[in-house]
Chain A
Amino acid sequence: MVNYFPEEVLEHVFSFLTSHRDRNAVSLVCKSWYNVERFSRGKVFIGNCYAISPERLISRFPRVRSLTLKGKPHFADFNLVLHDWGGYVYPWIEAMAKGCTNLEELRLKRMLVSDASLELIAKSFPNFKSLVLVSCEGFTTDGLAAIASNCRFLRELDLQENEVEDPRGQWLSCFPDSCTSLASLNFACLKGEVNLAALERLVARCRNLKSLRLNHAVPPDVLQKILARAPQLVDLGAGSFVHDPESETYNKLKNVMQKCTSIRSLSGFLDVNARCLPAIYPICINLSSLNLSYAPGIYSKELVKLIRKCKKLQCLWILDTIGDKGLRVVASACKELQELRVFKSDPNDVGNAAVTEEGLVAISAGCPNLNSLLYFCRQMTNTALITVAKNCPNFIRFRLCTLDPITPDAVTMQPLDNGFGAIVQSCKGLKRLSVSGLLTDQVFLYIGMYAEQLEMLSIAFAGNSDKGMVYVLNGCKKLKKLEIRDSPFGNMALLADTGKYETMRSLWMSSCKVTFGACKSLAEKMPRLNVEIINEGDEMEGGSDDRQNVEKMYLYRTLVGPRKDAPDSVWTL
């Protein structure tokens, strides 16, 4: 019957499918659906930029308007991957500039972005609207200046946690007076000065501005003027919040804040004087998202005074200076909480307290809607994890990080296997899990058995033998990304189910017991995997001993064979 639908009808139906997974599924039904789908797909998500080539992307999806690309493996965030490993965006932009100039949106994560790339974007895509860069590097504010100057319809420039060099600092003035389309501007990660007058003028003329995140160079008096011009803001990242609470500026800031009743999301406070925080109290009741994890030097008491006013909070990112006591207040005040991230604070910072299992248990008891957690803690117990599992069966993301990677249950000294086992058993929808602490093969047995929806698993310093890894590979049918460091998994585990890796996006193993020879035989057996060995500074000769342990291995499925841009220290087998 579906064969008789004209293509326009199919296309209209497909237009309601926004998730790329749904669209991928639809395109597998039959050739005609594949074709209708591919011509109508506007947003493409590529989780590993080396799995496919830009040319193939364009030939399959000629009308792509929005492209998301991810480059380096996740462990690159923690300095485990060389800077020049790869993930260059330039070839993609070059290809799109030739074949697909309708590009409107580019979202990049962990990629190397050069100024030349940004300049090429700026001049190749007349309808370019949105640039989102997360954890990228390789560019300077010169590249941003090119974007600002040339993208006439720019709506969104969102820079999250990038390493950006700032040689000149005038990029903000490059937005022409005719630019009024900005709805979202986030430059919080930039380290240099900005032209404050240009910033004020920009905010004044962009009436659609909803999201603005400033860097540390924007002082409170400018913030006050900006807020006076843009009371319609929904998302604010304050830059510097250091001022004399007795001053006129502070008074003005307090007054103008009260009028910002649309603000739902607050972040930043990159420099902060805690005594200025009361200026924010009036808007706390409206907040659904609060990120104070970049704000140094706030004592738990002050954090708590602020947070207990945020009754509608759904997402909280905070430093562990809040302490267990502070978390108990959060638990009692923020009943709608869904996502909590507690980051490790600088050990030399004031009020450094760290959190333990007690804080987590309190949160789980008070916030039953909790579904996403990142928790850096000094210690943990099985009891606590079991309690948390019972209280919060809705976890989708559960990432626990003990400061000592192999710390056992703080009370019983046993491994934390049972605790994590309870989490995976109870949380049927769990998609992402990071485990830490003293863990044996047993925890992986549980994970393999229960974590049916698990897509990403991070393992460090865990397990006893190959069996641990095999339990996971056998059990987790939906596994997409597996990253392992410093665990005793070896060749038997690596080679136990080589076909599995084609169902996954990638596997990372570092400081494990996998040998050169095993990696070579895996690569030979599976031509559609790239098996990369990263050996920094070691002998890379062909005569390398097959029995030698490999320091870092990263393998991923790909349709385009070994990449040609790997540096010398990365060897594709």
Chain B
Amino acid sequence: MEGYSRKDVGCPQLLDLIPKEKEWLVKSAEETNYGLSEEKKLELRLGPPGGDWTFKQICGPTNESLLSFGFFPNTTAGATTTAPWQHQTKASFFPLMEKESCRIVELQGAEKKAFSPANTAVPNSSSAQKRTAPAPVVGWPPIRSFRKNLANGNSSKLSPESQKDFSKKPIENCPKNKFVKINMDGVPIGRKVDLKAFHSYEKLSSAVDELFRGLLAAQGDSSTNGIKKEVEGEKVISGLLDGSGEYTLVYEDNEGDRMLVGDVPWDMFVSTVKRLRVLKSSELPMLFCGSKPGKLSLDRSI
């Protein structure tokens, strides 16, 4: 690598983050039984770069000196919580130059961010200790909801090796809630409800009415697609549980079957339900016959 300098005015320091002329060792694996038989340890050498590294101060007079960030060929246990860059180790380290008008990045007592998880303590050894999970942060770690749902969905189905509790908690990770998805025929966007907030089928039914009444009215003409809202009269959604209404409430249980809502005691329902659907009653021929079977065998794999 040739000597490097930034053309911009007032350019910040150039920092050699990869030390020169040092032997770098990948931590040699303690276990050798996994196939790295060709080399016991992986040796990496840095050839010296062509020129010297120079840098200018961020602000203030130009003071040139070499700055290099050391690292620890042998990992030191125990943290140094003192000054940022001044690690007390091997001779590869060049002392940090004076900063005059530049701010020293204060690393001790690093400013608490807007949101800090409850537990920021970190194990002081690099061994594989299980850490206590920090308090959950919304959207962290950044995993697509699709993946998260997959994990939850799968856990109830397969894996004979694993014992899955039927009342497995959904994504939110909080035992006091049970959020399940609820979709309605004719409404492209679904909602989520916390079943633990209701204590009866009646309360659930009226909640469904509240959630979807407005959305259903807004659908109106499906081609408006949410851009123009047609304000029709909002109809109450009733008769969800007894087949008497335009819509009927069904659910998918932990075995993947579609069931009519209302047959089992509420608590049992809450523990086995995975998602809810509000279907058009006309789609359910059984209801017309007046009978009330336990399972809707909407068998599509004919």
Using C-beta atoms within 8 Å of the partner chain, give the interface range for chain B. 35 or more
A425, B158: Cβ atoms under 8 Å?
Answer: no
Q: Does B31 contact A (CB under 8 A)?
A: yes
The residue that A328 contacts in the complex, of B29, B139, B161, with Cβ under 8 A, is: B29
The residue that B142 contacts in the complex, of A78, A217, A333, with Cβ under 8 A, is: A78
List B contacts of A485 (CB < 8 A): 139
Q: Does B80 contact A (CB under 8 A)?
A: yes
A443 to B57: give the CA distance in the assembly, Å.
16
A161, B158: Cβ atoms under 8 Å?
Answer: no
A413, B80: Cβ atoms under 8 Å?
Answer: yes
> Which residue of chain A lies nearest to B143 when distances are taken between CB atoms in the complex?
A344
A358, B27: Cβ atoms under 8 Å?
Answer: yes
A348, B81: Cβ atoms under 8 Å?
Answer: no
B142, A77: Cβ atoms under 8 Å?
Answer: yes
Per-position binary interface string of chain B over residues 182-214, scored 1 when its CB falls under 8 Å from any chain A CB and 0 otherwise: 010100111000000000000000000000000
List A contacts of B60 (CB < 8 A): none
List A contacts of B143 (CB < 8 A): 78, 343-344, 376
Per-position binary interface string of chain B over residues 146-183, scored 1 when its CB falls under 8 Å from any chain A CB and 0 otherwise: 11001111110111011010001000000000000001
* Distance of A278 from chain B, by nearest CB (Å): 17
Q: A403-B141, A565-B227 are in contact. Are A297 and B134 (CB under 8 A)?
A: no
B105, A115: Cβ atoms under 8 Å?
Answer: no
B18, A425: Cβ atoms under 8 Å?
Answer: yes
List A contacts of B107 (CB < 8 A): 414-415, 440
A471 to B6: give the CA distance in the assembly, Å.
14
Q: Does A546 contact B (CB under 8 A)?
A: no
Instruction: Tell me the residues in window 55-79 of chain B with beta carbons closer than 8 Å to chain A beta carbons.
Output: 58, 69, 71-72, 75-77, 79
Using C-beta atoms within 8 Å of the partner chain, give the interface range for chain A. 35 or more
The residue that B79 contacts in the complex, of A140, A383, A412, with Cβ under 8 A, is: A412
Q: Does A362 contact B (CB under 8 A)?
A: yes
B225, A88: Cβ atoms under 8 Å?
Answer: yes
A194 to B18: give the CA distance in the assembly, Å.
55
Per-position binary interface string of chain A over residues 313-346, scored 1 when its CB falls under 8 Å from any chain B CB and 0 otherwise: 0000000000011001101110000000001111
B71, A350: Cβ atoms under 8 Å?
Answer: no
List A contacts of B111 (CB < 8 A): 464, 488
List A contacts of B46 (CB < 8 A): 390
A332, B35: Cβ atoms under 8 Å?
Answer: yes
B122, A414: Cβ atoms under 8 Å?
Answer: no
List A contacts of B154 (CB < 8 A): 270-271, 296-297, 346
> Which residue of chain A lies nearest to B87 when distances are taken between CB atoms in the complex?
A412
The residue that A387 contacts in the complex, of B24, B122, B137, B150, with Cβ under 8 A, is: B24
Q: Does B91 contact A (CB under 8 A)?
A: no
The residue that A412 contacts in the complex, of B72, B106, B133, B185, with Cβ under 8 A, is: B72
Q: A116-B225, A271-B158, A379-B122 are in contact. Are A195 and B110 (CB under 8 A)?
A: no
Q: Does A125 contact B (CB under 8 A)?
A: no
Q: Does B291 contact A (CB under 8 A)?
A: no
A84, B226: Cβ atoms under 8 Å?
Answer: yes
Among the stretches A3-11, A37-45, A166-174, A279-287, the one at the interface with B is A166-174
Among the stretches A19-27, A202-210, A258-266, A444-452, the one at the interface with B is A444-452
Per-position binary interface string of chain B over residues 16-36, scored 1 when its CB falls under 8 Å from any chain A CB and 0 otherwise: 011000001011010100111
List A contacts of B159 (CB < 8 A): 296-297, 350
The residue that B17 contacts in the complex, of A168, A170, A407, A418, with Cβ under 8 A, is: A418
Instruction: Tell me the residues in window 140-183 of chain A with beta carbons closer than 8 Å to chain B beta carbons.
Output: 140, 161-163, 165, 167-170
Interface-central residue, A83, A347, A356, A418, by most chain B CB under 10 Å:
A418
B161, A297: Cβ atoms under 8 Å?
Answer: yes
Footprint of A on B, CB under 8 Å? 6, 11-15, 17-18, 24, 26-27, 29, 31, 34-36, 42, 44, 46, 58, 69, 71-72, 75-77, 79-81, 84, 87, 103, 105-107, 110-111, 113-117, 119-120, 122-126, 128, 131, 133-134, 137-147, 150-155, 157-159, 161-162, 164, 168, 183, 185, 188-190, 222-223, 225-227, 277, 279, 283, 298-302
The contact sample of 14 A-B pairs, CB cut-off 8 A, is A78-B139, A79-B139, A112-B188, A193-B301, A293-B147, A328-B29, A383-B72, A390-B46, A405-B117, A413-B122, A442-B105, A446-B17, A449-B6, A471-B12
Closest 8 CB pairs of A and B: A413-B79, A169-B300, A78-B139, A346-B151, A297-B159, A90-B225, A422-B17, A138-B188
